[in-house]
Amino acid sequence: MESTSDANSLPSGPDARKRRVSYFYDPTIGQHYYGQGHPMKPLRIQMAHNLIVNYGLNHKMDINCPFLATTDDLSQFHSDDYVNFLASVSPDTLNQTPFSRYKERFNIGQDCPVFDDLFGFCQASAGGSLGAAVKLNQGDADIAINWAGGLHHAKMSAASGFCYVNDIVLGILELLKVHRRVLYIDIDVHHGDGVEEAFYTTDRVMTVSFHKFGDFFPGTGHIEDIGVGLGKNYSLNVPLNDGIDDEDFRWIFRPVIQKVMEMYQPEAVVLQSGADSLSGDKLGCFNLSIKGHADCLGFLRSFNIPLMVLGGGGYTIRNVVRCWCYETAVAIGEELDDQLPENDYYGYFAPNYTLLFDTCGMRNLNKPEDLVEMRNKLLEQISKMPHAPSVQFQTTPSITQAPEEAEENMDER
């Protein structure tokens, strides 16, 4: 396997030029609170923004406060009854009729609690991703960032894995109004199940997820899960083991994505940049450094295709903040000093007060021979796709069937 190059420098060559970056941030997003002891902390988005501003990156991109997505916006993917539930429930009414009977149906509970202004949180997250898509559609940006987005587990009629509204699916549906083919890439430690499920039967969206597989939430994302019907071979899953490091991740990420780009020829790309794949994450089990994680964004940037960058998981807050600040700089094409500037959350970064951090010495359980076998299998699957599939541009892909329903329908034919 080739070694990872020094990521101290941003990609060289034609990609070194600046990009027009649109950045979406709602100043109220960090005030939302899932509850005591819950690992999801929206405060991390506010902290990342504060660090971005104190590095002066806000002066080098277009800053937008997203509109709040409406119930009609959310109903482009989510069922009306689920959206209406989210819009009207509160902590005080959850256990009252009629809300109480919907808790199990909509998977509301310990992982996905009802907290104050839950719907406002969903509106801001989704509004940022929809706004980012519109910027790309209009040609007003090369890269659009919404760190409050990336909530990839949410289903059409249910919350899942700390996610209530799938801003990614909504953003991709918006992109499809202008772009014939959209590529979705997920580097969160958890499988991007909600997005894969939404587009499992179409060739207008290709999903590629690099994730921990096995006895690990959500338990999906087997390498054999490749899509059905028109979507066959357009779902790609890269199941990895604990402790994968920068070198191994880059070794499999770059050739797989390079081949996808050549065969699929997407007109827009969406990157879910979940930071729980970083070393030392409270819920993760990978061993990526910030530079190794950001290398994925740098590589995608080099193709100069309209790119949406979203947040996602990440539960060791100080490292999530560092990562998303660093990746904002990568998107712009700026170098950052490793010594952190003064910021409102300076104490979180003690004792070194640096942007980067050392990975821990965890064991890499990904055997070289297994990675070689998996990479070859993935490249073979990609080769089965037609070059740049000729999609029917007038139609929006059906997102009404779950994968198991689509498989049953295919079996009946």
Enzyme catalytic residues: 153
Contact 220, 208 (CB under 8 A): no
DSSP 154: -
Maximum distance among all alpha carbons in the chain?
Answer: 64
Residue 133 token pair: 């898509």
Dihedral sign for Cα 240, 242, 246, 247, please: negative
Residues 340 and 353: their CA atoms lie apart, in Å, by 6
Residue 341 token pair: 């500037």
For 12-49, the DSSP string reads: -GGGGS---EEEE--TTGGG----TT-S--THHHHHHH
Residues 163 and 154: their CA atoms lie apart, in Å, by 5
Residues 78 and 150: their CA atoms lie apart, in Å, by 16
Contact 191, 211 (CB under 8 A): yes
Chain centroid offset of residue 259 CA: 21
Structure-token match 């960032």, residue found: 145
Considering only CA atoms, which of 73, 190, 89 is closest in space to residue 134? 73
Residues 307 and 302: their CA atoms lie apart, in Å, by 11
